[in-house]
Amino acid sequence: DVLFSDDYAFGLYLFDSMHTGWSDQVLTGDRSAEKTIPQITRAARNNGAWFAKRHLWVQNEGTTRLPGGVERRSFAELLGDRPAEPKSPGASLRSIELPEGFEVELVAAEPLVRDPVAFDWGADGALYVVEMIDYPEGLDGKGQGGGRVSVLRDLDKDGVYDQATVMVDGLNFPTGVMAWRDGVLITAAPDILFVQDTDGDDVADRQETLFTGFGLGNQQHRVNGLVYGLDHWLYLANGSSGGKVSAGEKSVDVRGRDIRIAPDASLVETVTGQTQYGRDRDDWGNWFGNNNPNWLWHYYLPDSYSKRAVILDLGSNKIQLAADLASKKIDQIAPSLQRFNDVGMRGHVTSACSPTIYRDNVLFDDDQQHVFVSEPVHNLVRHFLLKRDGVTFTAERPDHEQAREFLASRDPWFRPTMTKTGPDGSLFVADMYRLVIEHTEWIPDDVEQYLNTRAGSNRGRIYAIAKKNKTPNKIPNLADLKPSDLVYYLNHENSWVRDTTQRLIIESDPSDIVPDLKALLEETNNAKARVHVLWLLGLLGHMGDEVLEASFKDDHPEVRRNAVVLSELHSKSNVNRRAQSAESVLELLRDPSPAVRFQAMLSISSAYENWKIESITSFMHEHAHHPTMRQALLIAASQYLRPMLSHVISCSECQQNRMLQPLIKAGINIHPEWMESKIMQWMESRVNVGFWQKLAPNEGGIQLLSPHEIALFQKEHKMNELDLINGTQALSLASHFLKNRGKSNLFDSTPDIRNAMQGLAMSVLAGPGDLNASEPFHAFQFLWITRGVRDWAPWMEYMFSFENELPHETRHEILKVMASDMEPFKNNFSWYGKVWNQSTLEERRVLLSMALKNPETARMFLTSLKTGVFEKTQQTFDDTSMTQQMELSLKRLPDPELHSLAIEAIEHRRTRLGLSRTKTDSISKRFGNLARLTRDASRGRQLFEQNCQLCHRFKAVGADVGPDLDSLNDRSGLALLTAILNPNEAIEQTYIAHELELEDGAEWTVLITHETPGDLHVTMTSGERRFIDKAQVRSIKTSSQSLMPEGWGEAMSNQDLADLIGYLQTR
C-alpha cells in the first residue's frame, strides 16, 4: 500500500493486483482540504514520522502542544468508514491470538470448505461439515436453498484435511449434522434428514426425511445441534422457531422447548430449556444451552420430572451462569464493524452461541470442567471454568483471562460459529468467515442497498487449537471394530471416542460383551468410563442388582448420581427388587453431594411407590428453604399429596415453609373436599374461638370495628402467646386455601369459627408490630375473601399511613389482591386520595390499575388528575406522583369519552408543573432541540426510577426484563433517543411481545421469558412477572412489536428526554 503526505498533497492508495497496481484510492487531497493526513515529509525530508502498533506517529516542533507531544493516526482512522477487506487463510490465521502455551492450526479452508456452521466426525474419522452457503436470504436473495454437507478427509494423516467431497447439496439453510449408523443426520428446517452413501464415493445415494414440521424462522433461530446423550437419544436446540414436529401421524408441539429424538423408533419429545444455537452436555449428563445475550444456562431440572407436577408452580428449571456485568463485557481486538442489531451493545456479549464443554485432557491437565462459547459478532471465543455449586454450577473466567479472551482475532471477518472437542483432543473452531453475520431483518433498507450481505460466501475456515509441545492424540478408526474390541475405547479420555463407542455398541445390539463391560467397570479408575458402562448395561437390559448397589457407593458423586437415574430404569424391569432399590435411593438423600441428594429426591418420586413420608420429612425441614431442592420436594410431594399435606398442615414449623402455598393449591385442585375437612379440623383444634369471638361481628353480620377500636381491645385484653401463634398459623392455612379455592362454603356450617377467625384477622392486621411480615397479609386476605369488613376506608387509611409499620412489600401484595377482586369496595373510594399520596411508586401503579377497572372509578381518577384535587376528601393531587408510563396507560384507554378526558387531564397536570405540551416531532428534529438543552442527570435518575427500572437495569439497579442498559456501549444522544422513541426499530427475538388470549376471555400482551411443561413464565407490560397455567391459555400469537410501548415521545417533554439521556450517559 502507498501512503504519502508532503508540503502540497496527501494520499492513501491500496494495492489491488499486479494488473491494476495501487488503484484502490481511499483518501486524497491537497493541504487545504478539511480532512488531511499528518505531514510525513517537509521539504523532501522526514518530518519526524514513524509507524508502530498500527499507527502513524509524527513528532516535531509543531506537535509540542499536543497530548504527549505527538500527533498520531491509527490505520483504522486513515481507512475511515471503508469496510475491512477479507484476509487470506494464512493471514487470518496469523490474526488469531491465544493465551501463552496454546497454538492454532488451520486444518481446512476454501476451496475445500465454505461457510462452515457445524461439523461432526464419522466413526472412521471423516469430518462432515455443514456449509450454510445460502445464508442469509438464499442463493437468489429470495430464499433459494443452497446449503450442503461435505465430507473432508485427511489422507496423509498429518492433521490437515486434503480432500473434500460434496455429500449432499441444495439443502434449505442446514444447521447441524451428526454421524448415525451408516449415514448422517442433518437438520435443515422444516426437516431432519437421514442421508447415506451406499457405494463408498462420499456422495449421498439415499435421502430420507425422518422428522418434519420444524418452524421456518430466522435462519439463526432454526432447529439445530444434534448431540449424543448418555441415554442414546439425540438432543437438539430448538432455536426459537417452534413448530409441530411429526415422524408419522402423531405430532408434537415444540414451541419454547428443546428437543430430543430417537431416530430408530421415530420418537420426538420436548426437553427442558430453549437454546438458540448449540445445546451441549458434559461427561456426566448435565445439559447446557444459551441464547445471544446470555453466555450459558444450566438446565438442571429435566422435564421428565417436572411433567409429573404440572399442577404446581415449580418456577424456572434453568440457572443462568456468568450473568454478572463483568462477565458480559468482552475484550474484542478486531476493528468493530457497523452493528445493525443491538446497536448500543458493542463491547458486550450479543451473539453467544455454541456452548461447548471441553471433554478431554489434551488442552488442560487439571480436573476442572472448561466451557467455550462462540461470540461471532465480536470475533472471539470466551472461556469459562465450570465449578459445582450445589445442584448447579458457577461459571468464571480463568485468572489469566480476566482482561483478554481465550481466542480473539484481529480479523473482523472471523466468525466462529461452532466449537467442538475433536477426536484428537484439540478444540476445533468453525469460522463462517463473513463480512456481515447479522441477519438482514436487522439491517435498514437504505444500508442494505449498498451492503453486500453475502460477502464471504465463497470462503470458510476450520481451525484446531492444541497445547504447545503436546502432540494431539491420533484419531482412532472405530468403524470396523467388533463390539468386543470397542469396549476398550470406553476407557478413553476423549469424549468423541467414548460417545461414538457407546453408540456403535448399541447399534450392534451385542449381548456377549456384558462380561467385558462388567470387568471394565470393576477395573477402571476412569469415572467417565464407569458412567458409560453403567448406561450401556442399563440400556442393554443387563444392569444387575449388585452392579447398581455398588454404584450407589462409588467414590465419584457423578457416578452415584447417574446410578440413581439408572435405578429408575432398573426398577421398572425388576419389580421384585424395587423395594430394595428404593431403600438404597432413600439413603442417598443424606449423600454429601447436593446434586446426588437432588437426584435421589427426583427419582424417588418418579420410579418408586409406597415410600414412607417420614423418610423425607427431615429432608424437607433441612432443604425446603433452598429453591432447587424445594422443586424436587414439591415434585415428590405431588405424587402423595394427602400424607404430605397432613404433615405440613400439622407441623407448626412448616407454616412459614415455602412449600405450603403450592401444596395447598395442588390439594385444592385434586382433593378439594378432603382439604376443606382437614383445614377445618385443624382450626377447630387450635383456634381459641371463645377469645377471638369477642372481636367477632354482632348479630347484624359484618365486622364494624375500626383499627382504633381493635387497638383499644388489645390493650384491655391480654392475648395469650400460644393463642396468637396458633391463630396466625390458622390464618395462613385458611388464607392459602381461600385464595386458591375462591368463595367456598368453608365456614357455612361453622359460623362461630368464621367469626372468630375474622376477629383474629382484624387483631393481627391492626398489630402488634412484631409479627412476621406475611401474617398481616394472610389476615388481610382472609378478611377480603370472606367479606369480613363492611367499611374498608378506615382500614385502608390505617394500613397505608406513614406511622404504620407494614412493610411496603406487604402493602404491595395487599393491593394486588384488591385489584384482582374489587367487589368488597362497592365503588366506595373515599380512601383513595389519602392512600395515593402516601404510597410508593410500585403501589401507585397498582392503585391506578384499580381505578381504571371500571368507567366510574376511572372517571373519578381522571377528574382528580384534571382538577388537581381528590373530590371526596378535598386532598391535593400530588402531581409529581404520576409518571410518563402512567400517562401512556391513560392515553391508551379505549373508551372515547375517557380517552378525551385523559388527554385533557394530562395537559392540565403538565401545565401545573410548568411543563411544555407533549411533542410529536420527528426523532431528528427533537434531537436538534434536545442538543440545545442543559441536561440534569440527577433529575434523569428520578425519571429512570419512575419509568424505566421496572424493565431495565442500569448501574446495577432495576429489573432484567428488557436489555441491560449497563451493557450499552453506544451512549450517543441520537442512539439513546432513537431507542426510547422508536423501540420497534430493531427488536432482538428475546424481547418480542406475545399476545395471549385466556380461556376466561382476558387478553394480555406479555414477554414469554420461560416455559415449563405446565406453565408459561411471562412478564407483563407493567414489569410484573407471572406464572400462567397453560391450561388457561386459549391462543398465543407472536407480535412484531417490542414489549416496550411506543408513545414516549408524547409522554415526555424535550427536557425530560434530555435529562434521562444525560443520566444514561453517566457511568
Paired with 298 in beta bridges are 288, 319
Rounded CA-CA distance 1020/819 in Å is 15
* Whether the model pTM is above 0.85: no
pLDDT value for 1049: 62
605 shares its domain with 656: no
SS3 1027: strand
Rounded CA-CA distance 702/405 in Å is 69
pLDDT value for 652: 62
DSSP annotation of 625 reads: T
Residue 276: partners with Cβ closer than 8 Å, 6 or more residues away = 220, 221, 237, 239, 240, 289, 290, 291, 292, 353
Q: Which domain holds residue 403?
A: 89-467
Query: Does residue 986 form part of some domain?
Result: yes
Rounded CA-CA distance 844/834 in Å is 12
707 shares its domain with 819: no
Our CA angle for 287, 956, 382, nearest 5°, is 40
Paired with 997 in beta bridges are 1003, 1035
Alpha helix ranges (H) inside 296-359: 303-306, 325-328
The packing angle between helices 707-716 and 751-766, to 10°, is 90
356 shares its domain with 438: yes
- Residue pLDDT, tens place only, 272-315: 999 999 999 999 999 999 998 899 999 999 999 988 887 777 88
Short-list 181, 235, 188, CA closest to 209: 188
User: Where a domain ends, among 79, 114, 139?
Assistant: 79
Query: Does residue 363 form part of some domain?
Result: yes
Query: Does residue 924 form part of some domain?
Result: no
pLDDT value for 700: 42
Query: Does residue 532 form part of some domain?
Result: yes
Paired with 1004 in beta bridges are 996
1058 shares its domain with 973: yes
Q: Is 802 exposed, middle or buried (0-12, 13-18, 19+ CB in 10 A)?
A: exposed
Using alpha carbons, list the distances in angstroms from residue 924 to 702, 807, 973, 976, 1052.
62, 45, 11, 12, 16
Contact 446/142 with Cβ under 8 angstroms?
A: no
Rounded CA-CA distance 885/1020 in Å is 14
Low-confidence ranges of the chain (pLDDT < 50): 339, 341-344, 655, 699-702
Residue 530: partners with Cβ closer than 8 Å, 6 or more residues away = 521, 524, 551, 554, 556, 559
- Residue pLDDT, tens place only, 824-875: 776 677 888 888 888 888 888 888 988 888 888 899 999 999 999 998 778 8
Paired with 237 in beta bridges are 224
SS3 1039: strand
User: Where a domain ends, among 58, 79, 100?
Assistant: 79
Using only the alpha carbons of the chain, give its radius of gyration.
34
Chain centre distance of CA 578: 38
Rounded CA-CA distance 583/581 in Å is 5
111 shares its domain with 46: no
Paired with 289 in beta bridges are 297
Contact 349/328 with Cβ under 8 angstroms?
A: yes
43 shares its domain with 129: no
644 shares its domain with 676: no
Query: Does residue 683 form part of some domain?
Result: yes
Query: Does residue 930 form part of some domain?
Result: no
407 shares its domain with 293: yes
Rounded CA-CA distance 995/1011 in Å is 15
Rounded CA-CA distance 954/97 in Å is 33
268 shares its domain with 402: yes
540 shares its domain with 606: yes
Q: Cell 441477519 maps to which residue?
A: 439
Query: Does residue 728 form part of some domain?
Result: yes
Residue 944: partners with Cβ closer than 8 Å, 6 or more residues away = 954, 1060, 1063, 1064
241 shares its domain with 346: yes
Paired with 1015 in beta bridges are 1029
Contact 943/932 with Cβ under 8 angstroms?
A: no
Which secondary structure element, helix H or strand E, spans residue 295, and what is its range? strand 294-299
Alpha helix ranges (H) inside 49-144: 75-79, 89-94
First to last CA, the chain: 41
User: What's the domain count of the chain?
Assistant: 6
Q: Cell 432447587 maps to which residue?
A: 628
Using alpha carbons, list the distances in angstroms from residue 57 to 27, 44, 68, 422.
18, 18, 11, 45
Q: Cell 383445614 maps to which residue?
A: 679
User: Where a domain ends, among 740, 770, 790?
Assistant: 790
Cell of 146: 443452497
Question: SS3 letters for 594-621?
Answer: HHHHHHHHHHHHHHCCCCCCHHHHHHHH
SS3 409: strand
**Could you write out the DSSP letters of every residue in 69-128?**
G-EEEEHHHHHTTPPPPP--HHHHHHTEE--TTEEEEEEEETTT--SEEEEEE-TTSPEE
Query: Does residue 472 form part of some domain?
Result: no
CATH of residue 1013's domain is: 2.30.30.100
Question: SS3 letters for 470-524?
Answer: CCCCCCCCCCCCCHHHHHHHHHCCCHHHHHHHHHHHHHHCCCCCHHHHHHHHHHC
Contact 760/693 with Cβ under 8 angstroms?
A: no
The packing angle between helices 594-607 and 578-587, to 10°, is 150
348 shares its domain with 387: yes
CATH of residue 427's domain is: 2.120.10.30
- Residue pLDDT, tens place only, 577-611: 667 788 889 899 999 999 999 999 999 887 766 66
